[in-house]
Structure 1
């Protein structure tokens, strides 16, 4: 099956299914000599793993990652890096009712029609469990970017119609501390409490709700992104839209920008006190002409409600006959609290790839 690899110079290929033996990723193109902090990578996975709180799925997975190759004495060797995460808490029987019935808004029908076969146990390859492999690879990418001082920070900015105020990040550690103090991963404490109560109420109703994750990339150098088809915002958009349940992506002013005049929207260039070129505003979201301009890169990712709900729903079976299906198993009432590290990971993979690509942009 094609479409399992992402990136050019910093390239990943993920493998595995939700109810298989394991999931994992192979990373090719990571430079040699990078210090590997396995505890950091594991901490990233811990933010994504199931069973964290009352507002996430109760599937219990430690998501313990093991590095199989590509490192020696705590450093990358420049050869392919393989990481594996065992599946520990599969309950395939929870999907026995789903063998011949298509779940609404899932990939059951499209996979069955495209391939003539599908793994009905949790969606197989289409399951969001695959994103754990991306988070492991993204953790490595973030370690690489840290050597250049690049920071990637995201948080839950909305759940349903509950919206957090815009967050100004003066200090990354303060932002992360505020975010990790609550189970919904919103950096605004008052809004977080409202979100948590709302999600818990939705869960008790057997329903689900969507939300948004806002992401900020700080200290990104000028020049990342390629002309025409590999524009940086296009690459970020592709990365985000490849995440399960994502239905929208916007950067900078986004759709609001379409309501503004050019005289309002143009980012005026200025010099700061150190003589560095900046812009007075950042409606461009840190990207102009598809290339990073040195300002913080800002974008938002919209997630739809989780498709599995604990209600009976009308559907059809594989023969086209009318059927009814009820939600079973363990599922998130809202995906965004666990999606924060996934968004950061995919952003890190894009920036790491373009950071390496940009080294060949011009002669020194």
Structure 2
């Protein structure tokens, strides 16, 4: 229950943070797609822990093992199975919370729902599960390459430090040139300093990842309940630590009038375009061919290296002491996760669109 995502291009993930391995099965990938394993490994490297001083120091190479569905470099049309083995678990770091509920973690809710929980790193509720999504998302990206679709995410805010420039005025490729993944070098330096200062205070901080999807085919998305932006919202809100999602003008749009907010149509070289894009590339839940852009808000990581008051399974007041290896800010490593989930949605809806008309 709740471990699968997608309709035609469908993934199911499995595994725990401190188990033997994580993995994903991907169904619905068309046969004959050339799969570049090096590109999958590149995406895994972008997400893996231990990248820099502002990420968790857990050391995992996140090497992939492709078990099925790919032969001689091409998809066979059968389920693709991928495994990522865990190598650097330190389960003893969590023995002190075996019967304690960490504030703002899923410990309590998992225990109430199942009557049992894997306290080693959070088990299934750990963000380590997203490694499997990134592996599948890397294949989705390769499928989208055939349609000329590009997906690029970047860190646009950490704490109160926020990029004010619109994404159109920045070279988004520069995001991969620094450890915080912000395309503005000056702001990136400030963000890194802030995250490092918070880390030294044994605390954590949140941030925002912005994602831009270009060249989406016109007409993908389904009416009413399966609108494209609703599916993107579901995808983003399924990522650990996400607390908010907005696309297009988002919440800022409420301060505008309709005469300001409406995206006027015009024609250029035979193509219909809009003079503005407050709609965020989606109208009526269906893509209109303009850039799709959205923002995803991540809360501060719940595990802090400070003592906190909480309860144990017996309902007694106790102190939870922060231990283990954790990100002081999740957004730098969340960038490839946001891209992966966006790719899975667009790939799925692109295939669905092909079945809607002759």
Give the TM-score normalised by structure 1.
0.97
Count of residue correspondences: 358
Q: Deviations over 1:39-96 (max 9, x none)?
A: 0011001000000000000000000011110011100000000000000000000000
Cα shift at 1:293 = 0.3
Q: Equivalents in 2 of 1:219, 1:327: separation in Å? A: 45
Deviation string 1:98-129 (CA, Å, 9 cap, x unpaired) is: 11100000000000000000000000000000
Gaps of 5+ in 1: none
* Residue number in structure 1 paired with 2:79: 80
CA-CA distance at 1:175 after TM superposition = 2.4
Among candidates 278, 282, 304, match of residue 277 of structure 2 = 282
Paired residue for 2:212? 216
Aligned-pair distance for 1:258? 1.1
Deviations 1:168-208 (A, max 9, x none): 4489xx522x1111000001111100000000000000000
Structure 2 Cα separation of the partners of residues 166 and 41 of structure 1: 31
The question of whether the paired residues in 2 share the 8 Å contact of 1:94 and 1:329 is answered with yes
SS, match of residue 337 in structure 2: helix
The verdict on how the C-alpha distance between 1:170 and 1:351 changes in structure 2, with shifts beyond 3 A counting, is farther
Q: Residue 339 of structure 1: which of 311, 334, 343 is its match?
A: 334
Q: 2:288 aligns with which of 284, 293, 299?
A: 293
Find the counterpart in structure 2 of residue 131 from structure 1. 130
Q: 1:310 aligns with which of 305, 308, 313?
A: 305
User: Contact 1:167–1:187 at 8 Å: present in 2 too?
Assistant: no
Deviation track 1:229-264 (CA, whole Å, cap 9, x = no partner) reads 000000000000000000000000000111111111
**What is the SS of the residue equivalent to 2:68?**
coil
Partner residue, 1:361: 356
Question: Partner of 1:156: helix, strand, or coil?
Answer: strand
2:241 maps to which residue?
A: 245
User: After the TM superposition, which residues 187-202 of structure 1 pair with which residues of structure 2 at under 5 Å, given as runs?
Assistant: 187-202=183-198
Aligned to 1:263: 259
**1:362 CA displacement:** 1.3
Is the CA contact (8 Å cut-off) linking 1:305 and 1:334 kept in structure 2?
yes
On the 8 A contact 2:154/2:172 being kept in 1, the answer is: no
Asked if 1:175 corresponds to 2:172, the answer is yes
> Which residue is equivalent to 1:119?
118
Runs of 4+ in 1 over 4 A off after TM superposition: none
The CA RMSD over aligned residues, in Å, is 0.9
Match in the other structure for 1:3: 2
> How far apart, in 1, do the equivalents of 2:275 and 2:208 lie?
26
Structure 2 unaligned blocks of 5 or more = none
CA distance in 2 between partners of 1:66 and 1:146 (Å): 23
Q: What TM-score, normalized to structure 2?
A: 0.99
Residues 266-298 of structure 1: CA deviation (Å, up to 9, x unaligned): 0000112x1210000000000000000000000
Q: Secondary structure at the match of 1:68?
A: strand
What residue number does 1:33 align with? 32
